[in-house]
């Protein structure tokens, strides 16, 4: 009898952000590894790979880190197997197998994704490990995609190596003994898959099972989900997956036949009612004609009111222009080159300044005596202290012109998009003279207890970013299902704005603030500015909008 301990294994799932998940040293992938540079510990990974996995292959490598790149963001089953030796074969259904080495120097490894609080940790001895990553299955098939990470002691590799894919089949044989993990019921019956979904098996196995079931019988997959116990963590994941496959109409597909008799009874009842209704329809038609005439009169009056409103809007625009001229007096434009001023247009104060004022009001009411939260005003020339001499804040006028042009282009792309239907706040062009995040903190007047929070994709060696839209970074639910929050037109506009920012700079970021004055670290002020920015020489440029939090 073989009494050797079974390898440690994990059968879980992750919803990826920025199309990646990570395995590596627990300190390199510490909880602050998504934070801004000045908020990260010295041992924490800075987000940069030594290679470019977006071009060279599915694995990114960095000291203490292996990143697995997916074709798109998705909820995927992930299986981790800690072994004493190399696997003897590959899975017969593997579409690719790639391995890389990683140094675990602190006695612990971890599996994480960007923005996910869930961390699976593995106690391992310090040393060099090989991580063989296999992608199994196919999208939309009865053997859905899953990722298997097999971790075992090994020697350092200079770069990831491909053991098998369609272009490089390699010499690694395909065999059932490729792993000690319990086999999945590939090709199993629908009843077997449904039972596995409803069982107490690990989440990764159950997620795989409901995907396999949905591929063969979507209606049964929906009914199986409905049978899950309240609070089961698979419920929301399954809902997202099944909705993407065809909505929840499939639930009633098999119920239509059972309801035909009821429909026939209803039809017979309706025929009897039709005779009674016919007598009253003639009288109703006369009333309808009178109502239509009344509606036409109301529409004429409404058209006249709209014309008057349009004329009023034109007058308001003129007043706004006049106010902009007056506002020039509160900002010292001495030293601004005439040609630069001509290229960026007349200086006008943007109406978002009222929202900045609300932020300061809330701050002052709760924390009297604190310096203003936002210490400047927003104009179409940028964001400056209220009584600033602009020339003192601009080191290069050509850089300033480029920053203003980018901010306006991004705002123009988003002219029909609002932050949320609750607040209907648009996106305003935003430029701040800041060579560093510390200068941005100072420009915005952040207090010592207020935290500058930054969400951004991970950088590659060449400076390109993951293809996640930066405007979805503020909320994990938006990253997962942007179609719930934005119309197709809005998503197209946000994609264009995202492309503009990325084309201008290799460093883009979504910036917001935590108040720091409440027990909840993530608590923001009721009205809080949020920014999507690109870092340019001497400036950050992009757009600002306002979240309303209650």
DSSP run (H or E) holding 130: strand 127-136
Highest mean pLDDT (candidates 261-265, 303-307, 337-341): 337-341
Task: Please tell me the least confidently modeled range out of 102-116, 240-254, 360-374.
Answer: 240-254
Confidence band for 32, pLDDT divided at 50, 70 and 90:
low
pLDDT tens digits for 237-272? Answer: 888 788 777 655 444 444 443 333 334 444 444 444
Dihedral sign from CA coordinates of 386, 391, 396, 401: positive
Backbone angle region of 345, left / alpha / beta, with phi > 0 → left and psi within -120 to 50 → alpha: left
What pLDDT does residue 15 have? 79
What pLDDT does residue 14 have? 85
If you write DSSP's letter for every residue of 354-402 in order, what string do you get?
A: HHHHHHHHHHHHHSTTPPPSS-EEEETTEEEETT-BGGGG-S-HHHHHH
Q: Which residues are registered as beta bridge partners of 77?
A: 13
pLDDT at 311 over 50: no
What pLDDT does residue 247 have? 56
Task: Please tell me the least confidently modeled range out of 140-149, 486-495, 519-528.
Answer: 519-528
Residues shown for the chain: 550
Tokens (6 digits) for 393: 């804040």
How far is it, in rounded angstroms, from Cα 475 to Cα 429? Answer: 22
Phi, psi of 18 (to 5 degrees): 60, 25
What pLDDT does residue 68 have? 93
Q: Which pairing describes strands 20-25 and 65-69: parallel, antiparallel, or unpaired?
A: antiparallel
Task: Please tell me the least confidently modeled range out of 187-196, 255-264, 497-506.
Answer: 255-264
Judge whether 76 and 58 are in contact, CB under 8 Å. Answer: no
Rounded to 5°, the CA angle 324-330-332 comes to 105
How far is it, in rounded angstroms, from Cα 338 to Cα 118? Answer: 55
Highest mean pLDDT (candidates 141-155, 308-322, 387-401): 141-155
Give exposure, 460-496, as e/b (b: 16+ Cβ within 10 Å): beeeebbebbbbbbbeeebbbebeeebeeebbebbee
Bigger pLDDT: 6 vs 432: 432
Distance linking the first and last C-alpha atoms of the chain: 63
Rounded to 5°, the CA angle 432-438-444 comes to 45
Q: Is 545 exposed, middle or buried (0-12, 13-18, 19+ CB in 10 A)?
A: buried
Judge whether 176 and 73 are in contact, CB under 8 Å. Answer: no
What pLDDT does residue 450 have? 64
Query: Helix, strand or coil for residue 160?
Result: coil
Residue 60 makes CB contacts below 8 A (sequence gap 6+) with: 20, 49, 51, 52, 53, 66, 67, 68, 69, 460
Judge whether 532 and 542 are in contact, CB under 8 Å. Answer: yes
- The share of the chain scoring above pLDDT 70, in percent, equals 68
pLDDT at 36 over 60: no
Q: Quick one: which of 465, 442, 444 has its CA closest to 455?
A: 465
Dihedral sign from CA coordinates of 386, 391, 397, 399: negative
How far is it, in rounded angstroms, from Cα 30 to Cα 258? Answer: 55
How far is it, in rounded angstroms, from Cα 329 to Cα 387? Answer: 9
pLDDT tens digits for 381-409? Answer: 888 877 678 888 888 888 888 899 999 99
Per-residue pLDDT, averaged over 133-161, amounts to 91
pTM: 0.51
How far is it, in rounded angstroms, from Cα 271 to Cα 477? Answer: 48
What pLDDT does residue 248 have? 53
What pLDDT does residue 73 have? 73
Q: What average pLDDT does the chain have?
A: 75
What pLDDT does residue 154 have? 94
Tokens (6 digits) for 170: 């390699």
Judge whether 148 and 93 are in contact, CB under 8 Å. Answer: no
pLDDT at 18 over 90: no
Query: Helix, strand or coil for residue 243?
Result: helix
């Amino acid at each position: 009898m073989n009494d050797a301990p079974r390898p440690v294994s994990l059968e879980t799932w992750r919803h990826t952000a920025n199309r990646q998940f990570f395995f590596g040293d627990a300190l390199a992938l510490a909880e602050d590894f998504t934070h801004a540079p000045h908020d990260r510990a010295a041992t924490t990974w800075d987000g940069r790979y030594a290679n470019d996995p977006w071009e060279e292959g599915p694995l990114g490598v960095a000291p203490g880190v292996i990143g697995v790149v997916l074709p798109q963001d998705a909820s995927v089953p992930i299986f981790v197997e800690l072994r004493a030796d190399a696997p003897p074969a590959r899975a017969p259904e593997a579409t690719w197998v790639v391995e890389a080495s990683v140094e675990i120097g602190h006695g612990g490894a971890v599996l994480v994704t960007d923005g996910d609080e869930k961390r699976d940790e593995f106690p391992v001895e310090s040393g060099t490990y090989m991580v063989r990553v296999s992608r199994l299955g196919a999208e939309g098939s009865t053997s859905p995609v899953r990722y298997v990470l097999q971790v075992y002691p090994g020697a350092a590799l200079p770069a990831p190596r491909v053991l098998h894919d369609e272009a490089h089949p390699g010499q690694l044989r395909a065999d059932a003994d490729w792993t000690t993990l319990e086999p999945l019921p590939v090709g199993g019956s629908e009843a077997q898959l449904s039972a596995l979904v409803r069982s107490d098996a690990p989440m990764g196995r159950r997620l795989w099972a409901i995907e396999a079931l949905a591929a063969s019988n979507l209606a049964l997959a929906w009914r199986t989900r409905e049978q899950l116990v309240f609070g089961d963590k698979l419920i929301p994941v399954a809902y997202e997956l099944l909705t993407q496959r065809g909505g929840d109409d499939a639930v009633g597909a098999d119920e239509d036949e059972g309801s035909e008799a009821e429909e026939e009874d209803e039809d017979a009842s309706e025929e009897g009612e039709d005779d009674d209704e016919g007598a009253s329809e003639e009288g109703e038609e006369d009333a309808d004609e009178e109502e239509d005439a009344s509606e036409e009169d109301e529409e004429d009056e409404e058209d006249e009111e709209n014309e008057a409103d349009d004329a009023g809007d034109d007058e308001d625009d003129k007043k706004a222009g006049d106010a902009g001229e007056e506002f020039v007096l509160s900002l010292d434009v001495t030293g601004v080159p005439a040609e630069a001023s001509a290229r960026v247009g007349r200086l006008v104060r943007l109406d978002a300044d009222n929202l900045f004022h609300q932020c300061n009001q809330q701050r002052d009411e709760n924390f009297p005596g604190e310096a203003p939260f936002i210490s400047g005003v927003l104009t179409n020339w940028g964001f400056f202290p209220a009584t600033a001499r602009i020339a003192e804040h601009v080191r290069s006028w050509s850089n300033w012109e480029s920053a203003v042009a980018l901010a306006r282009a991004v705002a123009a792309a988003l002219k029909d998009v609002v932050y949320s239907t609750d607040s209907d706040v648009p996106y305003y062009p935003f430029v701040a003279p800041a060579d560093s995040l510390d200068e941005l903190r100072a420009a915005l007047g952040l207090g010592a207890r207020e935290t500058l929070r930054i969400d951004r994709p991970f950088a590659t060696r060449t400076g390109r970013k993951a293809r996640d839209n930066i405007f979805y970074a503020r909320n994990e639910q938006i990253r997962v299902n942007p179609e719930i929050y934005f119309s197709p037109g809005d998503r197209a506009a946000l994609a264009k704005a995202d492309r503009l920012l990325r084309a201008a700079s290799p460093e883009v970021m979504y910036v917001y603030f935590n108040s720091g004055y409440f027990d909840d670290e993530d608590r923001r002020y009721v009205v809080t500015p949020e920014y999507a920015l690109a870092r340019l020489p001497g400036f950050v440029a992009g757009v600002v909008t306002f979240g309303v939090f209650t």
